[in-house]
Structure 1
Amino acid sequence: MALSLPIDPGANELLNRNVLALLVGMVLDQQVSMEKAFSSPYVLAQRLGHDLDAREIADHDPEALVALFARPPALHRFPKAMAARVQEMCRVLVERYDGDAARLWADPVDGRELLARITALPGFGQQKGQIFLALLGKRFGVRPSGWQEAAGGYGDPDAHRSVADVTDAESLRLVREYKQQMKAAAKARTAGN
């Protein structure tokens, strides 16, 4: 049931046991490969010398955090912006959930409420929130009533649309194909306007 990406086994292990690492990977999952985004929390933990902690990141000197993100190999192609976004997210986790990222989904009434909590985090719009909700439901057993509906098409059990659906090399290939089809369709719509 756990997340299994084609990345360093230590990175997968961290994602499966450290909720904050999973959230950081999701924040970073834009304009870089899925493998890069979800490997970067592991690299950040190595650079810090221990597992990720929301309170520590929230309180970290912003320039020092950018330096950790920017050190080669950079954790993202936009290290300054992403360091700031991750720090903002950690500050919200500290303010609302006492720094415990798992409390984000500890007691939601239903899938819509959980989606609202996720999308209230910096770096999570509607689509990314739905993907993360699907990831929680499909890979981590976080399934409040109505979670699949709230996750939209990403909650479909037979979908191959996002990181929530990656379990092996073949499912990753199918997700990549879906994303390429969506980009092509968007490009065609733009060209038609």
Structure 2
Amino acid sequence: MPVSLHLAQQPDADALLSRSPLAALVGMLLDQQVPMEWAFTGPLTITQRLGTDDLDAHQIARHDPDAFAALLSEKPAVHRYPGSMAKRVQQLCQYLVEHYDGDAAAVWRDAADGKELLARLSALPGFGTQKSQIFLALLGKQFGVHPDGWREAAGPYGEAGCHRSVADITGPDSLVQVRAYKQQAKQAAKAKRATKAAGPAK
């Protein structure tokens, strides 16, 4: 089914994410320590600097590492830490080439169930459990990828009607709701740390 993502909040970048499974994976990989829009615009920026119409795992995997890091470091940089993220993007693409012949969608295309899909995502370089669950939720909620038990495998991010992550962003309104949820979660975690540091009341 046609996919229409709104994660970069920029038409050309979102169009690439919507049509390219590899771009969606790379955007998810970049989504840490930078604003979401910056991260998910990254795949388009990389594509433009490579002079191509789409991302190609084989091309990125065999690219000279220093040259690729320089490409991501050009102003405006693709990430706050372009050198380290260039390495991670190449590692991701090398893994996809080795295990899926460079076909990013093959990661989820024939997964038997949600548990297997989560295991496949968690095996990708740079994808920890939380990132894997969020991407699994994105696949289920917006890409129509529904292996048995996908919501359960995605944990709290798979819950219907919630606004916890990029999986729930479908436009400006939902973006505001997700940002509000994250701010509340951050404040709650801060309060919990403060309480713990203060020790038990005497």
Q: Is the 8 A contact 2:72 2:82 kept in 1?
A: yes
Residue 4 of structure 2 is aligned to residue 2 of structure 1: yes
Q: Count the aligned residue pairs.
A: 193
Question: In the alignment, which of 23, 26, 43 is matched to residue 24 of structure 1?
Answer: 26
Q: CA deviation at 1:144?
A: 0.3
Q: CA deviation at 1:17?
A: 0.6
TM score, norm. by length of structure 1:
0.97
Q: Distance in 1 between matches of 2:104 and 2:64?
A: 21
Q: Give the ranges of 4+ consecutive aligned residues of structure 1 lying more than 6 Å apart after TM superposition.
A: none
Residue in 2 aligned with 1:176?
Answer: 179
SS state of the match for residue 93, structure 1? helix
C-alpha RMSD of the superposition: 1.0
Residue in 1 aligned with 2:91?
Answer: 88
Deviations 1:118-171 (A, max 9, x none): 010111111100000000000000110000000011111101011110011110
Residue in 2 aligned with 1:135?
Answer: 138
Q: Distance in 2 between matches of 1:118 and 1:48?
A: 26
Residue in 2 aligned with 1:167?
Answer: 170
SS state of the match for residue 160, structure 2? coil
Q: Is the 8 A contact 1:6 1:168 kept in 2?
A: no
**Structure 1: gaps spanning 5 or more residues:** none
Q: Distance in 2 between matches of 1:76 and 1:156?
A: 30
Q: Distance in 1 between matches of 2:86 and 2:183?
A: 28
Question: In the alignment, which of 96, 121, 124 is matched to residue 118 of structure 1?
Answer: 121
TM score, norm. by length of structure 2:
0.93
Q: Is the 8 A contact 2:4 2:15 kept in 1?
A: no
Q: Is the 8 A contact 1:110 1:145 kept in 2?
A: yes
Residue in 2 aligned with 1:61?
Answer: 64
Q: CA deviation at 1:100?
A: 0.5
Q: Is the 8 A contact 1:57 1:90 kept in 2?
A: yes
Q: Distance in 2 between matches of 1:93 and 1:36?
A: 24
| Distance 1:6-1:169 versus aligned 2 partners, 3 A rule | farther
The AA in structure 2 aligned to 1:23 is L
Report which structure shows greater RCO (CA 8 Å, sep ≥6).
Answer: 1
Q: CA deviation at 1:190?
A: 1.9
The AA in structure 2 aligned to 1:93 is L
Q: Is the 8 A contact 1:108 1:144 kept in 2?
A: yes
Q: Distance in 2 between matches of 1:42 and 1:17?
A: 12
Residue in 1 aligned with 2:194?
Answer: 191
| Distance 1:38-1:6 versus aligned 2 partners, 3 A rule | closer
Residue 70 of structure 2 is aligned to residue 70 of structure 1: no
Q: CA deviation at 1:77?
A: 0.1
**Structure 2: gaps spanning 5 or more residues:** 197-202
Q: CA deviation at 1:6?
A: 5.4
